[in-house]
Structure 1
Amino acid sequence: MEIKSHIVKLAETLSEQKIKWAFGVTGGGASLELITALHEKGVKYYPVAHEGAAVMMAGACSKDGITRAAAITIKGPGFANALPGILSNNYEARPAITISEAYSPATPARKMHKRLDHFAASSVFVKAFSAADDSGKNLKALLDIAQKETPGPVHMELYAEVAADGVRENFKTTTKFSGEEILKEISEAVKNSKNPVLILGSLALRRVDNTDWASFGVPVFTTAAAKGAIDENSAYSGGVISGEVKELSPENLIARADLILSVGLRNTEVVNAAPYKAPHFNIDSVSGFDGGFNPKINFLAASGNLAKIISELKPLFSGKSWGMDLIAEQNANLEKELFSADWMPAPVFRQIQKALPDGMLVLDTGFFCTIGETVWKAKFPDNFLGSSNGRFMGTAIPTALGAAISSPDKDIIAVAGDGGIRDYFMEIKLAVENNLPIIFVLMSDGTYGSIAASGRTKGYYENAFEIKNASWWRAAEAIGCPALKIKSSAELKSALESWQKTKVPMFLEMPFNPESYAKMAKKLR
């Protein structure tokens, strides 16, 4: 067995840089050499059914903003298949690295088999792009860029020969940090406020992760991407904002504030970014994401200084305790709205969390996602993971696999709808082969739920959003995954009790009344 020296060096450097897992679909050339070299360095490789899923799995392993996994593909079609996963990781700020076989610049133009300009195909959503050299320098530079704020995907080409390429960085910007006098202005505003609130974006998870936000004594809201930044069981947890304001949306409580202090609130993490009525001060480490919110001050500081800034502002909240009664009233109204029926997604989420209180909920996108983000109480960041920014249908199954592999002691509950269950269904086989502790849940109303609700009202062609045969549990059985069709809370209780004895993959299909399902989120978003 002979592996080219620059590929051996790449594997060595990946291992040195704490890359623990790799996923992919191999070819017969450089990719297979790399996978073999990684195996010899102790990096676990998982062969998957689809390259896009491999990239999402690597992204889930890197969910905390640190690159921990790679996805490997062949050139051309293999790389093209990876693009949905790369885009998803871009949306969710997950700095996974993709590595693809590729033609070098020296390859004669007459060699056209599977030829694709990988840079042109991916440059709009890859942070940086390079090729494997014989020193590891390019890889280290890529990983450094990947993990800088805002974290995101990077790509490396794997030529048959040593690369002479450098690193091409996309989206490179220079952030001018704010001065002390501006921070003093924010401090004075907080000091003079009576009813301030906090809003946290995912930056708070990555860069200010040891802060006890509940101890500020004021209502704390998060974006979906920041669920778990505050213990959502706290009396000060105000819920998840989306920018879509309805009768029971948390934004109605924010409207009662006389000052808003946000940390990393970005227009990429909400559906609709709009200005708040009260004076709004945002603290961030990169510029360009405050549009729509238009805060009075968008204070910019180096990532490493954010924790110090927050600790200096915290004493100014002393004596301002308020909002617990309003949050309690909001929760009571949500209880009436979402839990009036026994067999609907809201009570199902609650029942699962009661049975698996330390579990991680991995959500796809759809009506059930709105309910799950509202009902599931994340005590810590590792209690929740979703396509919170991209709302990318089909991501739940591969994301759950990456989460289970990188957090082996965690119970994983992956929830998808009738649309999202389809894209990467065959990856469940990987969970079966590795006995991963995942419960795959299909919440079904027989349609593309949110699309159907709007489409029917407007009289659009129903075949576009109705699914004639929405059942998948027999298909799950056929690939070796124990599966059940669940129609009641009693059946769910029995299934969960059974699963806790084995903790191997299980598929639960849950049909719901289509009419009730279509209405369940109407007062939320």
Structure 2
Amino acid sequence: MKFSDLLLFDAKERGIEHFFGIPGSGFPMDAMESGKKVDVNFIHVAHESTAAIAAAYYGDEKNSPGLALTVKGVGAGNLAGGVANTYFERKPLLCVCEAGPEKQKIDLVQVMDHFKLFESISSFQANINHSKAREQLKSAILSSIDGRPSASVINITSDYQDNDCGEIPDYKKNNLKNTFIDKLTISKVSNRISLSKRPLILLGADVERDKATQELILFVEKIGGSVLVNMDARGIIPENHPRWAGVFTGNYNLETIEGEIEERSDLIILIGADSMMTHIPWSFNKPTIEIVAREEYNSTSINPEIRINGNLKTILKILNDQVKQSNGFSLNEINEIKTKVLRHFVRDEQAIFTVQDIIESIKNIKNEDTTIITETGAFIRFFEHLLPVNKYGSYLGSSGGRTMGLTIPASIGYGLAKPDTPKIAIGADGSTLMRLGELEVFSRNNIVMPIVIINDMALGTMKARQNSRGFDSHGLNFVPVDFSKIAEAVGLYGVKVNTPESFYDALKKSMTADKTTIIDARVDQESYWSGFAPSIGDI
């Protein structure tokens, strides 16, 4: 079969029923026709970066790389911006790009070096060759889902001669990597942990990838650990567990949950932690042990006292047999620390409508199956402290990217992958203005969910940063934007709210609506801006 058929028939076989991009008259159009043969629908979006993000979040829910297409030149450059987002969020993605000729001797219109463009944000790249296409596609898919998810890139060069590319790859024969676990090192780890009186445990999403959650919880309870989780690992240990303390973001100050717990600990044990999931390089001074899923993964801490590599489930099983039972942190002490930090997240009683009101309504309306999709903003630390997550995968926030402009494309991908799952998207006005053109995609494709836009008519995080640095406020305001009217203009429901009661009513109604509802949530500006600095320990 030709490559477009191979690509889309393979996608169908992998459970992919939608792919994303901006159409072009060459290969993208061939791919659209191939998809039509097997009911794999093409979703055209307003910007290529959205195609990458939406495809990656779609693929993540399908447990297989999502598919995004682009034309060469500026199209590929735009796609790379979205691939950067998926790189930081650890999502699986296959990008197929039109490209210039493989052997280029002169400058050509819309031609750039894709290998250099995608080099630092992808795990696999290849120019397609029909005699190798089947194996190239297989390698691209497997590379994307091997370990921590990533993007693979296949280029369709302008001098590519299409021909029979073979049949759909067989992925079942793939042999998973086996990592040798050194018994002497694990004995050292066990002995060192047994000496600790107050162990702090930092968890990453690799615990879930290695299916080690049960072993992890037994380990935490046996040694009396206090638990922090990476931003992309919320719910691995249920946040109603008494030993869960908070979300680790890399704010090392006292008056943050990270800083206060570290201050009282005598050993930090990192299990499947991801070095990408921290704002700034490691700044704690306590001794560390790193339990890492793969040898090639970077350490998060600086100069760990002991590091052991291997399957986390296997290692934790051995440690559960070897480490001594310990009281560790008392539950009262963990609660005291959390209470101390949470005083910075108390609602401003002088305000009319706040982020805390939004969170309280979400908590009261959502059920255990609801997924929250969000991004960065002055509100995000409030969600990390005040909205418990008890199931992994039910909270999709910006983690390694910690970026604006993520909620809307991520919601497109998630919404198409999980149409029947209740979901709530939360963004902010600045982020939404980046992606206004994508609201039409929700209407055209019947993606249904509430999208809450926290509207303070400014770049609120930067407002707070200006203030904390002693600068006058300038250059960061927006003109008032009525997002409810924009929603109606593209065929969605729209509502504007400015009280806790009106927000609650709008959110509750939107959960059973037949179309996406844009909720323009007009929070009190001063309360919103002034709340950010204490949320990161900048007292």
Matches within 5 A, 1:105-504: 105-106=102-103, 109=106, 112-134=108-130, 135-159=133-157, 161-162=160-161, 179-208=182-211, 210-211=213-214, 213-215=216-218, 216-217=220-221, 218-244=225-251, 245-284=253-292, 285-287=294-296, 289-290=298-299, 292-301=301-310, 305-315=311-321, 316=323, 318-320=325-327, 322-341=329-348, 343-357=353-367, 358-458=369-469, 460=471, 462-502=473-513, 504=515
- Alpha-carbon offset, residue 271 of structure 1: 0.8
SS for the counterpart of 2:276 is helix
Q: 1:480/1:461 Cα in 2 relative to 1: closer, same or farther (>3 Å)? A: farther
Q: 1:28/1:108 Cα in 2 relative to 1: closer, same or farther (>3 Å)? A: farther
- In the alignment, which residue of structure 2 is the partner of 1:76? 73
Distance 1:64 1:207 in 2: 17
Distance 1:153 1:465 in 2: 34
SS for the counterpart of 2:316 is helix
Distance 2:112 2:186 in 1: 49
Distance 1:36 1:317 in 2: 62
Gaps of 5+ in 2: 166-176
Distance 2:13 2:129 in 1: 16
Tell me if structure 1 keeps the 8 A contact 2:245–2:257.
no
Distance 2:530 2:232 in 1: 25
- In the alignment, which residue of structure 2 is the partner of 1:171? none
Distance 2:329 2:449 in 1: 40
SS for the counterpart of 1:63 is helix
- In the alignment, which residue of structure 1 is the partner of 2:43? 46
Distance 2:405 2:249 in 1: 20
- Alpha-carbon offset, residue 109 of structure 1: 4.1
SS for the counterpart of 2:521 is strand
Gaps of 5+ in 1: 166-173
- Alpha-carbon offset, residue 223 of structure 1: 1.1
- In the alignment, which residue of structure 2 is the partner of 1:96? 93
For residues 126-178 of structure 1, the C-alpha deviation after alignment (integer angstroms, 9 at most, x for no partner) is: 2211133334110111112222233211111124634799xxxxxxxx99966
Distance 1:201 1:193 in 2: 21
Tell me if structure 2 keeps the 8 A contact 1:249–1:524.
no
- Of residues 239-248 and 69-78 in structure 1, the stretch that sits farther from structure 2 once superposed is 239-248
Tell me if structure 1 keeps the 8 A contact 2:270–2:290.
yes
TM-score (norm 2): 0.87
Distance 2:503 2:101 in 1: 54
- Alpha-carbon offset, residue 226 of structure 1: 0.9
Report how many residues are paired.
510
- Alpha-carbon offset, residue 82 of structure 1: 0.7
Task: Look up the equivalent residue of 2:269 and give its one-letter code.
Answer: L
Distance 1:197 1:456 in 2: 33
TM-score (norm 1): 0.90
Task: Look up the equivalent residue of 2:262 and give its one-letter code.
Answer: I
SS for the counterpart of 1:62 is helix
- Of residues 282-291 and 383-392 in structure 1, the stretch that sits farther from structure 2 once superposed is 282-291
Q: 1:32/1:65 Cα in 2 relative to 1: closer, same or farther (>3 Å)? A: closer
- Out of 60, 64, 73, which is 2:57 matched to? 60
SS for the counterpart of 1:270 is coil
Q: 1:458/1:340 Cα in 2 relative to 1: closer, same or farther (>3 Å)? A: closer
Q: 1:346/1:393 Cα in 2 relative to 1: closer, same or farther (>3 Å)? A: same
Tell me if structure 1 keeps the 8 A contact 2:464–2:533.
no
Distance 2:72 2:277 in 1: 32
Distance 1:96 1:209 in 2: 25
SS for the counterpart of 1:231 is coil
Does residue 24 of structure 2 align to residue 15 of structure 1? no
For residues 339-391 of structure 1, the C-alpha deviation after alignment (integer angstroms, 9 at most, x for no partner) is: 33363112311321220123211112111112112222111122111221111
Distance 1:118 1:335 in 2: 47
Q: 1:268/1:338 Cα in 2 relative to 1: closer, same or farther (>3 Å)? A: same
- Of residues 340-349 and 175-184 in structure 1, the stretch that sits farther from structure 2 once superposed is 175-184
Distance 2:7 2:236 in 1: 36
- Alpha-carbon offset, residue 323 of structure 1: 3.4
